[in-house]
Amino acid sequence: MLKKLALSIILFVSITVVYAQTARKYSNEFLSIGVGARALGMSNSYVSSVDDVTAGYWNPAGLLGVKSNRQVALMHAEYFAGIAKYDYAAFAAPLDTNSALGFSFIRFGVDNIPNTTELIDANGNINYDRITSFSAADYAFIASYAKKTAIPGLHLGANAKVIHRIVGDFAKAWGFGLDFGAQYQVGNWKFGAMARDVTSTFNAWSYTLNQETIDVFNRTGNEIPQNSVEVTLPKLLVGAARTYKIKEKFTLLTEANFDFTFDRKRNVLIKSNAVSIDPHLGLEIGYGGFVFLRAGIGNIQQQTDLDKNKQTSMQPNMGIGVKIKGITIDYALTDIGDQSVALYSNIFSLKFDINRENR
């Protein structure tokens, strides 16, 4: 089994390096933002410890942690002072004691974008009534499955996802991708791995431009887009988590994650042309399974100031959660990117455990 695993990793890295020579960096990045205020408060350090409906996003193997008959999660977030809106909904249910199924939906979009291509008519007159609006949005539909293995403590999972991206009536894309995940628990330790877009995700873009829009593009020196295929390279997320019992009612969860990307050098802590590694850390203090305090550190980068001195910057996140019977309310104060660029956002998410009575 170890030989097969080693061969799989070698093949995974080899294929990724080949595609990295031509693939676009940061493709489908809306799927890297994160879902659920619990995970966001821990700086997305959640690959190993995830054990609820959000596992369909973080690591499908974690769906086996859903103990209720049904579990539903909802989240709405706004970034860049409300310009961009992020919506998430998910459903998960155990199929039996050894397997579970989940479905997730994600939308990230900017609405009411002014379309000024027809602002000036053929005679050079400006007419503001000719301004219309459109939306640029990314959609993801994810189906997840998880199953226990014959090895005690080892759970495996997989995602099949459909990507749909639109830019008004001008452009649209369809894509399909696969993710694979694993979790292994031994004692109070839990280890996780998530291979996103493991076979590479291909988005097929098509463009529909009328002649008037093409003329505007030509007059303003813009390139006329052509139908094309955008490739999203695989990404490997690995992590380790440990749970500690502090006195009788207090618990402490700590987790460290490492994101491996293969699309050439990124501005992360460990970087090279072959692979870049982005570490992030998170912790959660719980009291009686009722109240939770969370904190995390991510976006650890090396920056150069005006005097060309290098310094390390990082982004702190924090959050809180409350669980009352079958309802969990989570809050996170987080940032979509470098704290010097984007404003911090207040994120709320809800989770419902639904238990049906046996008849």
190 contacts 46 by C-beta, under 8 angstroms: no
49 contacts 286 by C-beta, under 8 angstroms: no
Q: What SS3 string covers 138-185?
A: EEEEEEEEEEECCCCCEEEEEEEEEEEEEECCCEEEEEEEEEEEEEEE
pLDDT (0 to 100) of residue 18:
46
List domains and CATH numbers for the chain.
2-354 (2.40.160.40)
pLDDT (0 to 100) of residue 28:
85
pLDDT (0 to 100) of residue 128:
85
300 contacts 278 by C-beta, under 8 angstroms: yes
* Dist CA 49 CA 65 (whole Å): 10
* Dist CA 8 CA 25 (whole Å): 24
pLDDT (0 to 100) of residue 262:
86
24 contacts 53 by C-beta, under 8 angstroms: no
Using alpha carbons, select from 152, 140, 153, 139 the residue that is nearest to residue 56. 140
Copy the structure tokens of residue 14: 């080899």
CB atoms within 10 A of CB 294: 26
Half-sphere CA count of 275, side-chain side, radius 13 A: 12
173 contacts 27 by C-beta, under 8 angstroms: no
* Dist CA 345 CA 41 (whole Å): 11
Contacting residues for 137 by C-beta, under 8 A, at least 6 apart: 107, 108, 109, 110, 111, 165, 166
Q: What is the pLDDT along the chain (359 residues), one digit of tens a residue?
A: 434 444 444 444 444 444 444 466 678 889 999 999 999 999 999 999 999 999 999 999 999 999 999 999 999 998 888 889 999 999 999 999 999 999 999 999 999 999 887 787 777 788 888 888 889 999 999 999 999 999 999 999 999 999 999 998 888 999 999 999 999 999 999 999 999 999 888 889 988 877 777 777 777 777 777 878 888 899 999 999 999 998 888 999 999 999 998 887 787 788 888 888 999 999 999 999 899 999 999 888 877 777 778 888 888 999 999 999 899 999 999 987 655 556 788 999 999 999 865 43
pLDDT (0 to 100) of residue 312:
81
pLDDT (0 to 100) of residue 12:
47
